[in-house]
């Protein structure tokens, strides 16, 4: 028997109410993103209009008070820090989830999972503070000055590790038990089961985790601001200080006026563009089935 959905709904007024509530909630969620983008564009427009888009990529430096607005060094800084931390955190996080699911005895697995959850809950400013007083002097002893791209990557890795570890954990938990039993019946060893059966089955969950951690790595501000040194330059080594786009906004917003302020909104717009590109790339790689 098939009932069309509109028939079901028309019979139950509460269902219709729920439908409209859900529609409203969805509309709000969508509208917020659009509003933010519209706001960013509006605030950035004055400087875009009389400075031009090109100068944000061709000016000799970022000195907004003197009229130079080059954002590219910060774009590179953001990208390097993001790529570095994602490259380290992803295998670590996935392997941690595999350990938790298939190797660790339950006595270890449960507290271990709680620990990872705790790691996810620590505020970013705490990581930043720890980085500033422990990590930065440590790196400074090896290769001065200390605040550097490396410090940023390490801090970001620690921060996004729980995201990917927990997402991978949830992904692995969703792998149907039959698959595992089937693999066991075929006599596959544990690692072969994980590699050949579990990973393909949990692919979308793992992929979602990578997208979420990358988003967090791009958006992180406070911790990065405290450990990266914030010098506007394209880094030539891991020990060079960098400034990310997010740190740029946080550092300068408080006293920025006029074009300087509008230029910071352009930073925000560029960040938004990066995130959009990330989502589009993820969609393209997974052929539109990220969450499926």
Partner 1 sequence: MIRCHALFMLKKYAAPVALSMASLMCVPPSAGAQGTAADQLTGKLVITGASTLAPLIAEIGKRFESLYPKVRIDVQSGGSSRGVADARQGLADIGMVSRAMKEDERDLSAFPVARDGVCPILHQENPVQALADEQIVAIYTGTITNWKAVGGTDAPITVVNKAEGRSTLEVFLHYFKLKNVDVKAQVVIGDNEQGVKTVAGNRNAIGYVSIGTAEYDATHGVPIKLLPIGGVAASTESVRNGAFPLSRPLHLVTRTPPVELAKAFIEYAQSRAVHDLIKQQYFVPLAD
Q: Is 279 in the site for partner 1 (CB under 8 A)?
A: no
253: contact with partner 1 by CB under 8 A:
yes
Report the nearest approach of partner 1 to the CB of residue 225 (Å): 7
Length of the chain: 292
Q: Whole-number minimum distance, CB 110 to partner 1, in Å?
A: 37
Residue 123 near partner 1 by CB under 8 A:
no
Q: Interface with partner 1 by CB under 8 A: which range of 36-44, 134-142, 165-173, 268-276?
A: 134-142
CB of 136 to partner 1, least distance (A): 6
Residue 55 as a binder of partner 1 (CB under 8 A): the answer is no
Task: Count interface residues toward partner 1 (CB under 8 A).
Answer: 33
Cα separation, 4 vs 183, in Å, equals 40
Q: Tell me, residue by residue from 196 to 235, as one string, x for binding to partner 1 by CB under 8 A and - for no binding.
A: -----------------------------xx--xxxx---
Other beta carbons within 10 Å of 106: 7
Q: Is the Cβ of residue 43 or residue 201 nearer to partner 1 in the bound state?
A: 43
Cis bond leading into 145, ω under 30°?
yes
Question: For residue 291, how many other CB atoms are within 10 A of its CB?
Answer: 10
Footprint (CB under 8 A) of partner 1, residues 135-164? 136-137, 140, 144-147
Which of the ranges 116-124, 154-162, 183-191, 249-257 carries the binding residues for partner 1, by CB under 8 A?
249-257
Q: Does residue 243 bind partner 1 (CB under 8 A)? A: yes
Determine, following the binding rule CB under 8 A, whether residue 241 of this chain makes contact with partner 1.
Answer: yes
Per CB under 8 A, does 65 bind partner 1?
yes
Q: What are phi and psi of 63, to 5 degrees?
A: -135, 75
For residues 249 and 265, give the distance between their C-alpha atoms in angstroms, rounded to a whole number: 8
Does residue 61 interact with partner 1 by CB under 8 A? Answer: yes
Cα–Cα dist 127/46, whole Å? 37
The answer to whether 49 contacts partner 1 (rule: CB under 8 A) is: no
Q: Which of 29, 107, 254, 287 binds partner 1 (CB under 8 A)?
A: 254
Contacting partner 1 (CB under 8 A), which of 133, 186, 277, 285?
Answer: 133
Query: Contact with partner 1 (CB under 8 A): which of 41, 79, 212, 256?
Result: 256
**Does 186 sit near partner 1 (CB under 8 A)?**
no
Give me the residues that bind partner 1 (CB under 8 A), please: 61, 63-66, 68, 132-133, 136-137, 140, 144-147, 225-226, 229-232, 241, 243, 250-258, 260
């Amino acid at each position: 028997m098939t009932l069309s959905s509109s028939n079901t709904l028309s019979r139950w007024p509460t269902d219709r109410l729920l439908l409209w509530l859900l529609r409203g909630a969805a509309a709000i969620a969508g509208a917020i993103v659009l509003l933010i983008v519209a706001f960013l564009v509006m605030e950035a427009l004055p400087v875009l209009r009389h400075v031009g888009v090109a100068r944000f990529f061709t000016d000799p430096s970022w000195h907004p008070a003197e009229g130079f607005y080059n954002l590219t060094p910060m774009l590179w800084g953001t990208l390097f820090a993001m790529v570095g931390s994602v490259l380290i955190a992803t295998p670590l996080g996935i392997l941690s989830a595999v350990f938790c699911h298939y190797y660790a005895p339950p006595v270890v697995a449960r507290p271990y999972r709680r620990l990872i959850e705790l790691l996810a809950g620590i505020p970013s400013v705490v990581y930043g503070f720890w980085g500033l007083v422990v990590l930065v002097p440590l790196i400074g002893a090896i290769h001065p000055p200390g605040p550097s791209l490396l410090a940023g990557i390490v801090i970001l890795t620690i921060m996004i590790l729980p995201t990917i570890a927990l997402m991978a954990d949830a992904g692995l938990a969703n792998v149907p038990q039959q698959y595992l039993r089937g693999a066991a019946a075929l006599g596959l060893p544990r690692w072969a089961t994980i590699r050949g059966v579990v990973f393909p089955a949990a692919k979308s969950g793992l992929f979602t985790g990578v997208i979420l951690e990358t988003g967090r790595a791009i958006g992180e501000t406070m911790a990065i601001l405290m450990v990266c040194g914030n010098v506007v330059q394209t880094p030539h080594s891991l020990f060079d200080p960098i400034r990310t786009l997010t740190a740029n906004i946080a550092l300068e917003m408080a006293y920025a006026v006029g074009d300087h302020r509008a230029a910071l909104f352009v930073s925000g717009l560029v960040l938004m563009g990066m995130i959009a590109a990330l989502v589009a790339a993820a969609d393209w790689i997974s052929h539109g089935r990220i969450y499926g």
